[in-house]
Structure formats: structure tokens, C-alpha cells
Amino acid sequence: MTANRVLVTVAHIHNRPAPYLKRLEQAGFEVVRTIGKGGGKLSEEELTEALPGVFATLASSEPYTERVFKSAPDLRIISRWGVGYDAIDLEAATRHGVAVCTAVGANHEAVADYAVALMCALQRGLVHNHRLITSGQWRTEFRPGLWRATVGIVGLGRIGQAVARRCRGFEMRILAYEPQPDRAFVREHGIELTSLEELLRRADLVTLHCPAAPETHHLINRGRLQLMKPTAHLVNTARGDLVDEAALHEALTSGRIAGAGLDVFEREPLRSSPLFALDNVILSPHLAGVDQTSEAAMADRAIDAILAVRRGQAPTRECLLNPEALAVR
């Protein structure tokens, strides 16, 4: 087998110790770490240039297109350091015999932790309170609490369910919009299933946990923001494409909604934005799913898949998105 390189494109670990990568080296791979020129994800051109001789990628969210696959005859597997795969042309990957795997089940608890942290920070005004005291002001401002508030969870998959479990600890009323709900989970946790519009009208906090897809592009748009309470907060730790950022900025500046916590954006990395000037937003660089526990768990899942393909075996079924690709080569 001539291709013996694994390309690691994850910016989070580009210049950090990553002891789990030794597993790849012990299997005979040369591990090459690279990121895009701007410090973020690789462009299509940069990825194309980096792939000759690469057997596998431990991948971030760089674009895997038909053009990329045509230029990478040695590539056998894309193993995502994460769970999203909207940047990968899955049909093209299958045609070219490239298995696509995700680290499903490895970071949903971390994302849920972060989403609830944003809810608490927004609802209790933590950032605002910090700015008060550092500007020399000592005063009390009464804000809504998290206890017994109404939360609307959009998407009740692994992450949405993990958020719901946490919300029960705050005795919150839980609304959820989910086209294919786990009815047993819904009953067990006392969740009320609603339409998206009804959820937006009633929730004090709206948290998004659905995938990026054509049908979810700008799921939260100007019209739907107008349905929300003026006291409500929006949290997005899922995908930037779910929210129309221009409409959100308008809603935040006009008082249509009270605030937002965003970990993901329509364009990443986010270098500038009108949102930067607002006091009622909390922004972070797409890291909700990354803590010390989930980092190792995601890496191990991704590496397990690479090593399985190297051995001529199928990766774990729940991680492998296109098993038919294994039969192409």
C-alpha cells in the first residue's frame, strides 16, 4: 500500500499535544497536520494540493467536493473529528470509494453542557453583570431565572435529548420540535411536542440542535424571529446556516428578542460582524463540542474508523455514513 499518510486538518489541535495521534503512527502512518492559510479550514484548492499520497483524513469541515475526490485517488476514508458532514459530497465520496465516518456519540454531552451554559449566561445576564462591575458600577438588576423557565428545543436527537435531561434538573417546562421523535424519551422526560411556530411563540429560551440541510437553511428567519417573545433568548450550537444572521441582528437591535448565544456562524471563521457591537449577544468560535473529555473521545472514534479501513474492515456501523463505498475498491 503506497499511500501511508493521514492528513489531520483540525485547527483546534494544530499546535497542541495530541497523544492519541500516536496510534496512527504506531500503525505505520505518517501523520501530517495542516490548516488553511487564514488559520481556519482548508479551502478546496488547499485541500486538493494536500491530498496526494493521503490514505485518510482526520477531518474538520473543509469541503470534499467532486473536484477534490478526482484529485485524490489514494484517499480511502474521511473520518470526521466531529459529527457534521454537510461539507462532504456524500454521493461523490461513494462513487470514488471513499468511506465517510463521523464521531457520532462522542461529543453530544459537551455540546449540551455548553448550550445550557449559554442559556444560563443569557437569562441571568452574566456578561452584562461582569461589565457592570468592571466599569465601576455596583447595582442589582433583576432578570429572569432558569428555574422553571420554558425552553424550546429544536431537534431532539442525541444533543437535544442531552439538553432536555439537563433542563429537567432546573424543573423547566420543555417544548420540542422534532419530526421523528423518540416517543419513549418524550414520555419519560415530560416533553411537549409542538410545531416550530408554537415553540417559538411560547419559549423563554430557544436552543437549536438540528443538522444543516437544504430544508433547514435559515430555519430561523425574520418571520420566525417575529414569533418569539421580546424577552426570549436564542441559542445556536448546531450549524450557522440555521440562522439568518442579518435578520437576527435586526431582531437584537430592535428589541424583537432579548438576546442570543451563538457558537456557530454562516461563515467561519468569523472575522468581523455587526454582532460584535451588540451587548446582548455571547459569541464563541465553534467550540461547544470540544472539552478535554470529548476531544479524546472524538479522536479515538475517528482513529478507530481509519484503522478499521486500513485493516480491510468496516468501521462501526453507527459511524459509517456510506457503507456501499467499501465495495467500490
Size (the chain), residues: 329
Taken in order 180, 184, 189, 191, the sign of the CA dihedral is positive
Question: Exactly one of 80, 202, 286, 310 is catalytic; which is it?
Answer: 286
- Nearest 10 degrees: Cα torsion 225, 228, 231, 236: -60
Amino acid sitting at position 290? V
In which residue are the cell numbers 418571520 written? 223
> Cα angle at 103 between 151 and 46, to 5 degrees?
110
In which residue are the cell numbers 444572521 written? 245
Supply 17's cell numbers: 499535544
Reduced to 3 states (helix: H, G, I; strand: E, B; else coil), residue 245 is helix
Question: Exactly one of 202, 239, 301, 310 is catalytic; which is it?
Answer: 239
Supply 214's cell numbers: 437544504
> Cα angle at 162 between 322 and 200, to 5 degrees?
95
CA distances from 291 to 23, 58, 288, 297, 312 (A): 21, 18, 8, 10, 32
Is-catalytic flag, 218? no
CA distances from 19 to 24, 43, 259 (A): 10, 27, 39
Question: Exactly one of 25, 66, 91, 268 is catalytic; which is it?
Answer: 268
Is-catalytic flag, 249? no
Is-catalytic flag, 25? no
Active site residues: 239, 268, 286
